[in-house]
Structure 1
């Protein structure tokens, strides 16, 4: 057999490996690595967001009797019921009041704590940990403790008696019950905003404050003209996260007031739970859940669009 034939057979034998090496280029390997890294996140979005939303849309067109297992198609009846439900106005009103209270107080308290703790003094880490610690406490345990404190004969009213104030029955009166759930929510979650604001404040260049002092600016002017514009991207982020968190607050209301007294603290997310799981109206509860999703999306888009007017980017 000639050398030419041997070389031809060898070339034929190694050609598949050559094809594979040409296919797995560096660019394709990098792309595969990227897909492998994002695959868990995409899988999580698919399993925990897209599929549940799709199922909620499907169930909103049906009425499901969970006891008999009967699934009956009702078309748009559940959506029509949203326009005739007498509880919708009070529920939306409670949702607006609760969300505004939580968002405004949470951001104000978080920013105030961050400003106070943005100092290089001895022991400051202890206070940062102290104010952040409620975030890691079980929400149910936190709410149960506050439920005891807010009783008619609880610690808070006993402290008020020491200064001559007759405290109300916090959880059995509509306005005070709403105040109670707002404060309980804010005190537990403000630590997250505090950490975000603190990180933003530590990124503000010190030379800008020095230049402002040389121009005669006081503390208030420096905060409004230097600090706030430079941390405005963080303000936008915390506003979006706090609004979403307020609209999704369920455990504190479920444990503290169960939506009462009457419907004074029945916010939208708790009303979804009532209709779907307490009254077994899975289809109507699904329609309410989708309405909550639409509200969250609209508010998020509105806040995101406002960044063009209120958010300052250094670049």
Structure 2
């Protein structure tokens, strides 16, 4: 009898704790549902419809919008631009801050000042930076003036199908370096100094210590930085909007800007929602890769 009474009391305590926990979670879950889950669900629904938000409304078209995406050459050009932009941004945005982080981690003089200086681009408005970048790379801008001092003819940076994309990639790398630098510096603090001391006693040089101690120790940090940088580049919109407008000849049109154009210039919301849903799927794949890799490294 006593055992049953104790079991009942434990069940009631557990039940009360569960109710209290759900009460505390309810406001956050409500906000999550309203501002995150509902928009995602509505986006997926919208991708199966056509029409506009007028009195005529929208109507169900099934997979027609997705079929149009796969048959549209402009969409595949945009996807190719996005892949090139992402790959060309992610690799330097990992290698450069990794090297800088290793150097700053061992430096004593001006380390905090340099850390702040490198991080400043990450907190700068992309619109303001884009305007400055456009001024730098215009035909008669400072960059071409500096090249003229070296005897190099002016380059039409923003009106060339060859040079416009590298300008955007350079801006994206410059913007991302500071964030990844701080992330790598934090990751380096988690590697025990005793490992480096033992490696030094064993005669390992700086490169061997970096390859066999630093890189394995930074593996979870590298995965996190790679995924976050890829997501950052996939959602790039402001530089394209401010600097090139997707031109010339669609050479710098990225997926987010393409979605914006289809939705708010062409008012083809169903088609834009289908493209946005594919972008959401790619982002979820990256997040799942990061989570799986994090579990394997734990």
Contact 2:130 2:242 in 1 (8 A): yes
Residue 273 of structure 2 corresponds to which residue in structure 1? Answer: 286
User: Measured at CA, do residues 208 and 94 of structure 1 come closer, stay the same or move farther in structure 2, by a change above 3 Å?
Assistant: same
Q: 1 CA distance for matches of 2:91 and 2:226?
A: 9
Residue 214 of structure 2 corresponds to which residue in structure 1? Answer: 227
Structure 1 residue 295 and structure 2 residue 282: aligned?
yes
- Give SS of 2:250's match: coil
Contact 2:47 2:65 in 1 (8 A): yes
Contact 1:250 1:270 in 2 (8 A): yes
Contact 1:66 1:280 in 2 (8 A): no
Greater radius of gyration (CA) = 1
Q: 2 CA distance for matches of 1:216 and 1:188?
A: 39
1:224-263 correspondence to structure 2 within 5 Å: 224-263=211-250
| Range moving further from structure 2, 173-182 or 159-168 | 159-168
Segments of 5+ residues of structure 2 without an aligned counterpart are 1-8
- Provide, for residues 107-160 of structure 1, a one-character-per-residue CA deviation record: whole Å limited to 9, x for no partner: 122212212221352322111111101111111111111111111111122222
Residue 187 of structure 1 corresponds to which residue in structure 2? Answer: 174
Contact 2:90 2:229 in 1 (8 A): yes
Q: What is the aligned residue count?
A: 290
User: Measured at CA, do residues 127 and 210 of structure 1 come closer, stay the same or move farther in structure 2, by a change above 3 Å?
Assistant: same
1:154-233 correspondence to structure 2 within 5 Å: 154-233=141-220
Contact 2:70 2:76 in 1 (8 A): no
- Provide, for residues 213-264 of structure 1, a one-character-per-residue CA deviation record: whole Å limited to 9, x for no partner: 1222111111110001011111111111111111111111111111111111
Residue 8 of structure 1 corresponds to which residue in structure 2? Answer: none
Segments of 5+ residues of structure 1 without an aligned counterpart are 1-21
Structure 1 residue 130 and structure 2 residue 117: aligned?
yes
TM-score, normalising length: structure 1: 0.84
In the alignment, which of 246, 253, 269 is matched to residue 266 of structure 1? 253
User: Measured at CA, do residues 44 and 240 of structure 1 come closer, stay the same or move farther in structure 2, by a change above 3 Å?
Assistant: farther
Shift of 1:44: 3.8
Structure 1 residue 72 and structure 2 residue 77: aligned?
no
Q: 2 CA distance for matches of 1:80 and 1:92?
A: 15
| Range moving further from structure 2, 158-167 or 147-156 | 158-167
Shift of 1:304: 4.4
TM-score, normalising length: structure 2: 0.89
Shift of 1:272: 0.8
